[in-house]
Structure 1
Amino acid sequence: MTPDTLPQHATAVCKNCRAATDGNYCHQCGQATHLHVPSAREFLHEFIAHYVALEGALWKSLGGLLFKPGFLTCEYIEGRRARYLQPLRLYLTFSIIFFALFKFSGMEVINLGEEIPPSAVVVSGDRKAPEPATEFKRAVAPLVTGAGSFNTTLGQKVQHFLDLPRRDQEVALKGAFFSYTPYAVFALMPLFALYLRILYVRTGRRYGEHFLFALHTNAFAFLMFSVLLTLPPMLDFLELPLSLWLLLYLPLAMHRVYGGARLATGLRWIVLSLLHVLSLILAVMVAMGAALVG
């Protein structure tokens, strides 16, 4: 008997967990009891259905995410979950798409300027101005000293990075950005939820609800950034309304999920945005620092 002619009827024992079963699915682990080697078409259909969720859940999730700020969070809290993509999958999907598009878009991430040869100096009167390279080394000398006092090896790596040609420094920083920034940004989600917990401490909501809200709103942000990044020139007129929607989305979502007066929501939004932007800057700086010690 070849693999292509495996029995199509229900098995008495589940092939996966060995539990006794009766019907189309195992009551213990949920695996189908009708087993056969899938054709290429069946395999593709299964991949699309389960991983891309093209059959319903994706479109319902996209519709709620794009046009109803806070809707998916409320649905999840109310227990209506199976019809939508899971929050973590939603966030990871759109964050991966954004960073992939950003990496291959050709946009300049790091620009340290043109490297000036050591012989290029500025003469003012009878005095010779310091070489730019010398001024730069003086400016970063405290960084090298501080790193060296903290850890000798770290200080050596920082010095090695600073001694690299400008082009090599840019390559190292770009590599660090795309290697570490996605993880650093994801690590901010618990912090984003903590900010919400503090801002809405009197609502009695659990931390998990704030984390859920963080995943949904940041998934929307990554989706919108991806759209703006790939917007063709003929649709440039959409850039302004899309940017405004991106700006207004978070306070509208906060009002839907948490309620309260609009003025109070607006104030919380400003505080939350400032804290998150500062956290993002710090996270990117840490990612850039990885280039110094890598």
Structure 2
Amino acid sequence: MGKHLETCKNCEQQFSDAFNFCPHCGQQAKDDLTVKVLFYNTISNYFSFDARFFKSFFPLLLKPGFIARKFVEGKRLQYLHPAQMYLFVAVVFFFLFSFIQREQVRAIDDSLAAAFEKEKNINLKFNKIQLDSIKSIELIQQAIKDSLNKVEVKKLLEDKQIFTGMSDAKIDSLVNTDDFGKNASRDFGFNTKTIDSLLALGTPKDIIYKAMGMEDDAGAIKKRMYRQALKFYESKRGGNIIQTFYDTIPLAMFFLLPIFALILKAFHFKKGRYAHHLVFSFYYFSFLFTVFSLILAINFIVDLPDWLDFLIMLSTFLYLVIALRCFYVQGWFKSFFKGVITSFVFLSVVTPIAFVLISIFAFLFY
């Protein structure tokens, strides 16, 4: 009896009807579209992921470096792929962290709103200060620093000259000092009173940027800095900058993690390819995000003491030392020494640079 051939609906290759699955692409041979077939792959993939996840999750927590070593040795179907593990745990962490983000963004916006409201209600300080009671030049200098109008300050000082005993030369030196009116900028780097006037008049932004101090030949980045600074000043809200900063961190981790693996490669140059160190880094960062997630979850329920949070964070370094010893098959001293140097370089050099870059990015694109 001749063999009957089936044609795969997916790859259109022919095969014997004795096969339940196409030997060329693996699709089920007879897969009439029913509700069962529609959801079969989704459910089966989900439980496959779930089983491998739990087979990987507990060894990840309890056996530092074990899964990474087994994965490099070739046992790759038994455990969840390191990148997949990292993505799953990172998503959970940033989801939990988003609740804290919202609180911080709201708190920053509220604080700035209160500060600017206070600034708005500060008129000429000399209208509220009785210069008769001023006994020292220091208080006068402070009053001048808090003032916004040089001409009015000078007039008031001249009116009260009989009480202060200051000469005309002294008044001129105080009022005309180089740092007079710096308080008007409130650390913005420009005179806010001037900018407020220009904004009220509907002045074109290009002119306002020049009033803020932008040169005519400023580059694209510098122009954007002034544009964002004015945007911040107009909105009086800093929460969006913080939100953009937090939103950038997951993306930044895809650059930081390979750098961590590169540091490991530098200290274990003869211990396998760079991909091996990358596997170790994926699993280690998965452990870190798991610990951070647990800390966040527990603190939502009960506020842990600071000393306990510190001990938990310290445990991540001890985990690293044990993981290095297991994965690279080396002594305790080497593992501890390399763990210290790796952590120091990553936390003291790489992370601060990343923090600055993320902060600049957040300000430029919030």
TM-score relative to the length of structure 2: 0.66
Query: Which residue does the alignment assign to 2:342?
Result: 272
Task: Give the distance between the partners of 2:271 and 2:354, measured in 1 at CA.
Answer: 29
Secondary structure in structure 2 of the residue aligned to 1:97? helix
Aligned residue runs from structure 1 range 250-261, under 5 A: 250-261=320-331
1:249 to 2:265 alignment: no
1:3-59 CA distance string (max 9 Å, x none): xxxxxxx9811111111223122221122223132427972x643442464552111
**1:161 to 1:16, Cα distance in 2 relative to 1, 3 A:** same
Task: Give the distance between the partners of 1:189 and 1:99, measured in 2 at CA.
Answer: 16
Secondary structure in structure 1 of the residue aligned to 2:15? coil
Gaps in structure 2 of 5+ consecutive residues: 130-137, 147-181, 191-209
**1:41 to 1:34, Cα distance in 2 relative to 1, 3 A:** closer
Query: Which residue does the alignment assign to 1:281?
Result: 352
Q: 1:20 aligns with which of 14, 19, 41?
A: 14
1:129 to 2:140 alignment: no
Taking only aligned residues, the RMSD between alpha carbons, in angstroms, comes to 3.4
Gaps in structure 1 of 5+ consecutive residues: 1-9
Q: Is the 8 A contact 2:108 2:239 kept in 1?
A: no
Q: Is the 8 A contact 2:263 2:342 kept in 1?
A: yes
Query: Which residue does the alignment assign to 1:6?
Result: none
Q: 1:172 aligns with which of 213, 220, 240?
A: 240
1:101 to 2:96 alignment: yes
Q: Is the 8 A contact 1:161 1:169 kept in 2?
A: no
Equivalent residue letter for 1:229? L
Q: 2:26 aligns with which of 30, 41, 44?
A: 30
Q: Is the 8 A contact 2:317 2:339 kept in 1?
A: no
Secondary structure in structure 1 of the residue aligned to 2:187? helix
* Structure 1 residue 76 displacement after superposition: 0.5
* Structure 1 residue 286 displacement after superposition: 1.9
**1:288 to 1:235, Cα distance in 2 relative to 1, 3 A:** closer
* Structure 1 residue 249 displacement after superposition: 1.4
Task: Give the distance between the partners of 2:56 and 2:84, measured in 1 at CA.
Answer: 11
Query: Which residue does the alignment assign to 2:249?
Result: 181
Aligned residue runs from structure 1 range 198-213, under 5 A: 198-201=266-269, 203-213=270-280
**1:268 to 1:172, Cα distance in 2 relative to 1, 3 A:** same
* Structure 1 residue 197 displacement after superposition: 0.7
* Structure 1 residue 219 displacement after superposition: 1.1
**1:233 to 1:97, Cα distance in 2 relative to 1, 3 A:** closer
Q: How many residues align?
A: 279
**1:52 to 1:289, Cα distance in 2 relative to 1, 3 A:** farther
Aligned residue runs from structure 1 range 226-237, under 5 A: 226-231=293-298, 232-234=300-302, 236=304
TM-score relative to the length of structure 1: 0.80
Equivalent residue letter for 1:129? K
Task: Give the distance between the partners of 2:286 and 2:103, measured in 1 at CA.
Answer: 22
Q: 1:162 aligns with which of 222, 229, 241?
A: 229
1:100-138 CA distance string (max 9 Å, x none): 221134452684854341664888511223565625234
* Structure 1 residue 86 displacement after superposition: 0.9
Aligned residue runs from structure 1 range 21-170, under 5 A: 21-22=15-16, 23-39=19-35, 43=39, 46-51=41-46, 53-105=48-100, 106-108=102-104, 111=108, 114=112, 115-116=115-116, 117=119, 120=122, 125-127=139-141, 128-129=144-145, 132=183, 134=185, 136-138=187-189, 152-163=219-230, 164-165=232-233, 168-170=236-238
Task: Give the distance between the partners of 1:149 and 1:279, measured in 2 at CA.
Answer: 35
**1:57 to 1:165, Cα distance in 2 relative to 1, 3 A:** same
**1:132 to 1:253, Cα distance in 2 relative to 1, 3 A:** farther
Task: Give the distance between the partners of 1:276 and 1:262, measured in 2 at CA.
Answer: 21
**1:41 to 1:79, Cα distance in 2 relative to 1, 3 A:** same
**1:57 to 1:262, Cα distance in 2 relative to 1, 3 A:** same
**1:148 to 1:18, Cα distance in 2 relative to 1, 3 A:** farther
Equivalent residue letter for 2:22? C
Secondary structure in structure 1 of the residue aligned to 2:238? helix
**1:268 to 1:166, Cα distance in 2 relative to 1, 3 A:** farther
Query: Which residue does the alignment assign to 2:161?
Result: none
Larger radius of gyration: 2
